[in-house]
Amino acid sequence: MSHPHPELSDPPEPPADGLRIVALGGLGEIGRNMTVYEYGGRLLVVDCGVLFPETEQPGIDLILPDFDYIRDRLDDIEAVVLTHGHEDHIGAVPYLLRERPDIPLVGSRLTLALLEAKLTEHRIRPVTRVVGEGDRSTFGPFDCEFLAVNHSIPDALALAVRTGAGLVLHTGDFKMDQLPLDGRLTDLPGFARLGAEGIDLLLSDSTNAEVSGFVPSERNIGPVVDEVFRTAQERLIVACFASHVHRVQQVLDAAVANGRKVCFIGRSMVRNMGVARELGYLNVPEGIMVEPKELEDVPADRLVLVCTGSQGEPMSALSRMANRDHQQIRITDRDTVMLASSLIPGNENAVNRVINGLTRWGARVVHKGNALVHVSGHASAGELLYVLNMTKPGNFMPIHGEWRHLRAHAKLAALTGVPDENIVIAEDGVVVDLVEGKASIVGAVPAGYVYVDGLSVGEVTETSLKDRRILGEEGFVSIVIGIDSSSGKVVAGPEIHARGAGIVNEDFDEVLARIDQVLRDAAGDGVNDLHQISQLVRRTVGKWVSDTYRRRPMIIPVIVEV
């Protein structure tokens, strides 16, 4: 990918007494969170997550941060600190560890347990260090303090980093639920204490900066879930994130209250809930669970399926059910489906397709648009203002959000009194230095997308994706021609074939005549270079298709030298 900020030059050498911050993901997008801190020639990485592909990235499984910025300095990394166990914060760790397997991974007990289960599938045995709220640890020149924050997954942490350049508070993803299901509050006294100490730079979650007020409590969802269970005719299918332990706990509690059995569907759901149960974060009542192979033995009105697919992921269990290609589960008009999650920006069309697919087969679909079945895990504007007023940062940098979220959060910071010149709005690859209490942009480094396609990592380029989009949207036309190697004359063909281009075979006679003429003219001019001939054929066919059909399929000449 080209330089992300052509108006910014390469950054200078890091200042000897300053802290350098470079986000390799998570700014200007929802996902791929990864921030690199540098002080005294050493590096501390906070989070290492993935971004999930959109429809214009066909065939892509995952999108990783670009490790090029740190690839030559992997030995300088003191640790990778993980704020919580969501995929957009831990999903890229296996790919980083392929490059240096012994990088210490630091995080809470649940976060590391979820990650270790994932790393087992990659056959990686990591070096880990469990920390909890209230702990304070040193990693090289980085003095790190960990604070509890409330989020849509247990055991989330904020991180305070102290260096000779000052104190930085990195909130990670958080909200301020005052009645959390697990009783674990965001450590507001800790935030206030750090504010009194003097926070030189605050990096804070921006996802809901445009949403006024405060996020409702998770407890508000309980009665709604109970009502859905009570009114479901027969089978109930609940789709949520495979890491949303709190939501799954509410489903289990409602199942017990309504006399239903529960079955987890999908590898990630089974794996993550198994980890959560083993560590005591998920309370599974005795005798409530059934295995997929036992589903036929349970009456439909006594069954709950918990699966993934709330974001419309094409290969998820729920999407396969909506498309009627799930091996075990066939949606009927007596099913109730509950999508217990909010939409990640960019997934709207995929989710609507799933809802329509389920509705087509008669299912009753309950989602956030028609019932309170989910609350966000990210602080709204009222909570963000509260944190800004409590911490009183000298400098502010919004993180974790698209451009509109970052801008909205910056405006909130200005309203609380942070000077405009001390508010840094950066995006991926922008280099920020904190020197003598002032944060400023000093340059930019490449921070493009790295695509995972099956076993291929980084081999698919933007050009490849453009070709895939053209093939998917416009189809292709191939022309096979045999050319005499000495004279350049046509000895076989041309044969022309089209797929997905919307061209009628009978119409090819017209363009074949044009190709014949172009090739005769080229032979008469002594042109026998295969590349030149290929280009002549491509331009001739491309112009004919454009003029005749107003389409732009991929044109593939195949010139065979005889």
Active site residues: 205, 378
Cα–Cα distance measured from residue 169 to residue 160, given in angstroms and rounded to the nearest whole number: 4
Q: Give the strand order in the sheet containing 554-561.
A: 490-499, 476-483, 554-561
Q: Tell whether 151 is in a known binding site.
A: yes
| Cα separation values, 94 from 123, 431, 510, Å | 9, 25, 55
- Known binding residue 409? Answer is no
Tokens of 7: 């108006």
DSSP 215: P
Please tell me whether 86 is known to bind a ligand.
yes
Burial of 419 by CB count in 10 Å (0-12 exposed, 13-18 middle, 19+ buried)?
Answer: exposed
Residue 453 assigned to a binding site: yes
Residue 369 assigned to a binding site: no
Q: How far apart are CA 129 and CA 109, in angstroms?
A: 9
Nearest residue to 472 (alpha-carbon basis) of 55, 38, 191: 55
Q: Is 350 annotated as a binding residue?
A: no
Q: Is 376 annotated as a binding residue?
A: yes
3-state secondary structure of 9: coil
User: Is there a binding annotation on residue 89?
Assistant: yes
66 labelled ligand-binding: no
> Which residues sit opposite 496 in a β-bridge?
479
| Contact predicate 449/410, CB 8 Å | no
Q: Is the dihedral of CA 374, 378, 382, 383 positive or negative?
A: positive
DSSP-derived secondary structure for 273-307 = HHHHHHHTSS---TT-B--GGGGGGS-GGGEEEEE
Q: Of all helices (H) and strands (E), which one includes residue 481?
A: strand 476-483
Q: How far apart are CA 22 and CA 38, in angstroms?
A: 8
- Return all residues near 419 (Cβ < 8 A) that are at least 6 apart: none
Residue 170, marked binder: no
> What order of strands is seen across the sheet that includes strand 62-64?
62-64, 450-453, 456-457
Tokens 């959000």: give the residue.
401
Establish whether 316 is an annotated binding residue: no
The answer to whether the annotation marks 246 as part of a ligand binding site is: no
Give the number of C-alpha atoms closer than 13 A to the C-alpha of residue 356, restricted to the C-beta side.
6
Residue 405 in marked binding region: no
Q: Is residue 106 marked as binding?
A: no
Residues annotated within a binding site for substrate = 242-244, 374-378
Residues annotated within a binding site = 59, 61, 84, 86, 88-89, 151, 173, 242-244, 374-378, 400, 453
Residues annotated within a binding site for Zn(2+) = 84, 86, 88-89, 151, 173, 400
Residues annotated within a binding site for Ca(2+) = 59, 61, 453
